[in-house]
Chains A and B, each alone.
Chain A
Amino acid sequence: MASVGDARLADAPREAWWPQVLPVVLVLSAFGVYATFRAFEGAFYEWGPYLSPFYSPLIDAHHHYWPFSPALLILGGPLGFRVTCYYYRKAYYRAFFLDPPACSVAERPGRHYSGETKFPFILQNAHRYFLYLAVVFLAFLWHDAVRGFFFGDGMGVGVGSVVLLVNVILLTLYLFSCHSLRHLAGGKLDCFSCTTFGCPRHSTWRGLSVLNERHMLFAWLSLFSVGFADFYVRLVSSGAIRDPRLL
């Protein structure tokens, strides 16, 4: 007679897990390749009032102190924020580490698993510090987005101004739906009504919780928008297209 484990495995219908995993692998890999290329390229990152989000804040653009692409100086901030994000962790643990590939789909046997208890994954606990850094980045990006409406001949609206504005709005939604922010704002309290500022903290926490339910959506939308914003600036900056002025 077969052992219980064998019988259960042999009879368990296999859930098709590839369709769930493949889009994540493709999109994250494509983004990774494009972002790496752009970070090293060190060119075509500004045009008129537009600055690519991959290069913001722009540090030592004229290479007085840093001979390489200025993007490399700042890349670690946004990258670390996304890599340690609770949503992306779920996405890449499943898609790249197959840990698990999908729910109730067996993993490759015999592998040692320590989850987030050991190096390097224990470092995921630093997510909140990347959040603090991301707030600084976001301030620069808002500054860039507003600057995107001020052309040499005065105020105006180009397609690029809209692209940068939509991007910064989506990034703001992504940041404001962050789990660590939700915790910091009020989630860490046990009793809202017995804490100083408990009431406003409860309202803030509740508002952030509404956004937090859509964190996955904002994670993807902002990933696309940041990639597209850079791509757009590259197109106009390299002269491949002209930036249509809307107003």
Chain B
Amino acid sequence: MAEAVLKIFRGTSEGGATAEYRVPVAPGMVVLDALHHVQKHAAPDLAVRWNCKAGKCGSCSAEVNGRPRLTCKTRMDSLPQDQAITILPMKSFPVIKDLVTDVSWNYKVNKKIPPFTPRPGADWKFSQADIDRVQEFRKCIECFLCQNVCHVVRDHGKQEQFGGPRFFVRVAGLEMHPLDGLSRTKLLKDELGIGFCNITKCCTEVCPEGIHITDNAIIPLKERVVDDFYDPVLRLVRKIRGAGKAADH
């Protein structure tokens, strides 16, 4: 049976290094299987977060050969077999142990977003055409691979000022919801720092659910922010309408 060499990060936030393990490769095996093999036979204390092994729980994210991926969706035979396979924890989050990172920053960001708030008097019926866009965003499994790869977080450490692609997807799902009555454009501009995103699309490249994060969520949200804050003509139109309404009253 063919054998693969895995170089797996072992350590905590204090420090660490990669250690090498040899694993027999069976047909159809994924990287998470190889990690389980290491856990079972060589390093029972290897920390790996996983849950479904079906690409649906979003727990098993790591960096395989330098690319952020779900280890349960990365087949061993898709990786070059003639060299060691490097498996590191996600770079943008603090390591707890080995491949397990502390992703709690994401939950903090999530709390900033006002939840679904129906329009007053909303008729609880809508057509499929109204909800198509939102359904794409609901596919998110919160693997945080997009948050991890985004250079605004990864290289520029803007965690405090920036929400990150996963939360732009969430806001897009709320903003484009036919029954939601809140506007979150100010939040996007001021607290989630959508302006820091320079639409370079790495989030889209790594999303295991194939969500078109940049084209369908971020850019449409940027356009909505322009509508509300940067378009002088629309601002004028709003002023005139506002004055008209005030006069009516």
Listed in ascending order, the chain A residues whose CB lies under 8 Å from chain B are 1-4, 7-8, 11-15, 86, 89-90, 93-94, 99-100, 103-104, 106-107, 109, 113-117, 121-122, 125-126, 128, 179-180, 182-183, 187-188, 190-194, 202, 212-213
User: For the complex, is B55 an interface residue (Cβ under 8 Å from A)?
Assistant: no
Identify which of A2, A107, A113, A117 contacts B17 (C-beta below 8 A).
A2
Partner of B86, one of A2, A12, A94, A187: A12
B:1-50 near A, CB below 8 Å: 7, 9, 11-18
Residues in B whose Cβ lies below 8 Å from that of A99: 151, 198, 200
In Å, the complex CA distance between A89 and B179 comes to 33
Q: Which residues of A contact B63 (CB under 8 A)?
A: 12, 104
In the bound complex, CA of A59 to CA of B57 (Å): 61
> In the bound complex, do residue B86 and residue A89 qualify as a contact, i.e. CB atoms below 8 Å apart?
no
- CA distance in complex: A13, B152 (Å): 21
- On whether the beta carbons of B15 and A4 are closer than 8 Å, the reply is yes
Report, nearest first, the 3 A-B pairs whose CB atoms are least far apart: A103-B202, A191-B178, A117-B195
B231 contacts the other chain (CB 8 A): yes
Q: Report chain A residues within 8 Å CB of B126.
A: 191, 193
A106 to chain B, nearest CB (A): 6
Q: Which residue of A15, A113, A180 contacts B67 across the interface (Cβ within 8 Å)?
A: A15
Residues of B164-209 at the interface with A, using a CB-CB cut-off of 8 Å, are 175-180, 193, 195-202, 205-206
User: Can you show 19 pairs from A to B with CB atoms below 8 A apart?
Assistant: A4-B11, A7-B15, A8-B88, A14-B66, A90-B201, A90-B214, A93-B200, A100-B151, A100-B200, A103-B67, A104-B66, A104-B67, A115-B195, A128-B231, A183-B223, A191-B178, A192-B127, A192-B129, A194-B178
Interface size on B, residues (CB 8 A): 60
Report which of B15, B91, B156, B200 forms a contact with A2, defined as CB distance below 8 A.
B15
Q: Which residues of A lie under 8 Å from residue B129 when comparing CB positions?
A: 192-193, 202
From B17, B152, B180, B231, A190 is in contact (CB under 8 Å) with: B180
Smallest Cβ distance from A220 to chain B, in angstroms?
16
List which B202-228 residues lie within 8 A (CB) of chain A. Answer: 202, 205-206, 214-215, 219-220, 222-227
Chain B's interface: helix, strand, loop or mixed, by majority? mixed
Q: Given known contacts A104-B63, A104-B68, A125-B226, is B15 in contact with A3 (CB within 8 Å)?
A: yes
Chain A's closest residue to B227 (CB) is A188
Which B-chain residue is minimally distant from A107 (CB atoms)? Answer: B155
B127 adjacent to A113 (CB under 8 Å) = no
Q: For the complex, give the distance between the alpha carbons of A57 and B4 in Å.
A: 64
With A and B bound together, what is the CA distance between A122 and B226 in angstroms?
A: 10
Give B72-102 as 1s and 0s: 1 = Cβ < 8 Å from A's Cβ atoms: 0000000000000010110100010000000
In whole angstroms, what is the CA distance A104 to B62 when docked?
12
B130 at the interface (CB under 8 A from A): yes
- Contact (A107, B151) CB under 8 Å given A2-B17, A15-B67, A89-B199: yes
CB of B65 within 8 Å of the partner chain: yes
Partner of A187, one of B91, B197, B223, B231: B223
A1 to B19, CA, bound (A): 13
B14 close to A1 (CB less than 8 A): yes
Residues of B within 8 A of A128 (CB): 223, 226, 231
A4 touches which of B16, B215, B219 (Cβ 8 Å): B16
A125 vs B185: C-alpha distance when bound (angstroms): 14
Given A104-B63, A125-B230, A191-B126, A179 and B219 contact (CB-CB distance below 8 Å): yes
Shortest beta-carbon distance, A30 to chain B, in Å?
Answer: 22
- Decide if B206 touches A103 in the complex (CB within 8 Å): yes
In the complex, which residues of chain A have a beta carbon less than 8 angstroms from the beta carbon of B176?
190
**Bound complex: CA A90 to CA B66 (Å):** 21
- What's the nearest-Cβ distance from chain A to residue B178, in Å? 4
Contact of A1 among B16, B130, B193, B202 (CB under 8 A): B16
Q: Are A86's CB and B9's CB within 8 A?
A: no
The verdict on B140 contacting chain A, using a C-beta distance below 8 Å, is no
Taking CB atoms, residues of chain A closer than 8 Å to B65 are 13
Besides A104-B68, A192-B178, 8 new A-B residue pairs in contact (Cβ under 8 A), listed by A number: A7-B9, A8-B88, A12-B66, A89-B199, A113-B196, A115-B196, A125-B226, A179-B219
CA of A100 to CA of B155, assembled, Å: 9
Given contacts A90-B200, A193-B126, contact A11 B155 (CB under 8 A): no
Of B7, B149, B196, B219, the residue contacting A117 (CB under 8 A) is B196
Distance in angstroms between the alpha carbons of A213 and B219 in the assembled complex:
13
Shortest distance from the beta carbon of B94 to any chain A beta carbon, whole Å: 8
When distances are taken between beta carbons in the complex, the residues of chain A under 8 Å from B17 are 1-2, 7, 11
A114: chain B residues within 8 A (beta carbon): 196
